[in-house]
Structure 1
């Protein structure tokens, strides 16, 4: 026979939890938010809290608003830019040629002096 334990499956402090022990629940306000994918989210807020205008949809991550007829559009995703793309935004082709010729001249001067280049 397995050892008899009268409080098997419980832990210290465990007991019936109800309204009497926890106290009354705070009044809640449930607000519906709608995203562009027709998902409805109903988070609960305290009755006296300020309700935000927008909420992120937990199912798809898109922004959601309280207007079911006119949900906010999905945000525009900008493509990844390489380092070269950012450099081309800052420099014109003539500036790039001047910087390149200056760098090549400095490199050739270092080689003439006998410096070791890797």
Structure 2
């Protein structure tokens, strides 16, 4: 049997935790608190030299957050699902739709009259 047993490779019994000695020192950090419209607080740690984002997603409810406790961002406006037909109706009037349909039917009838096989 190769490898043998359940030993953890690279460590020995009684070895201390692998920490800063092997990885080097941690960068200086700062704790930033974000607030959402539902009143949730999310504390996140960033490196001091890191750029702090203006918005963060709340891990509890998914709403956007900001660092301003008195003025959190409002929930995003959710647009209802629209079908392809709904978008077409926004762009075309009933008269335009009827005209386009008639032109398409005329082309189809001309192709059929010319003996073209259409499936």
Of residues 10, 13, 30 in structure 2, which corresponds to 1:12? Answer: 10
Per the TM alignment, residue 57 of structure 1 is displaced from its structure 2 partner at its CA by 1.2
Find the aligned partners of 1:98 and 1:9 in 2 and give their Cα distance: 78
CA 1:8–1:103 in structure 2 vs 1: closer, same or farther (change >3 Å)? closer
Find the aligned partners of 2:43 and 2:116 in 1 and give their Cα distance: 69
Per the TM alignment, residue 8 of structure 1 is displaced from its structure 2 partner at its CA by 5.8
Find the aligned partners of 1:10 and 1:66 in 2 and give their Cα distance: 43
Segments of structure 2 that go 5 or more residues without pairing to the other structure are none
Segments of structure 1 that go 5 or more residues without pairing to the other structure are none
Kindly report which structure 2 residues correspond to 1:64-79, keeping only aligned pairs within 5 A, or say none. 64-79=65-80
TM-score, normalised to structure 1, is 0.80
**How large is the RMSD of aligned CA atoms in angstroms?**
2.2
For these two proteins, the number of residue pairs brought into alignment is 113
CA 1:115–1:46 in structure 2 vs 1: closer, same or farther (change >3 Å)? same
Per the TM alignment, residue 52 of structure 1 is displaced from its structure 2 partner at its CA by 1.9
Find the aligned partners of 2:8 and 2:53 in 1 and give their Cα distance: 41
TM-score, normalised to structure 2, is 0.79
- Give the ranges of 4+ consecutive aligned residues of structure 1 lying more than 4 Å apart after TM superposition: none
The superposition leaves residues 90-109 of structure 1 with CA deviations (integer Å, 9 ceiling, x where unpaired) of 22222111111111112222
CA 1:9–1:95 in structure 2 vs 1: closer, same or farther (change >3 Å)? same
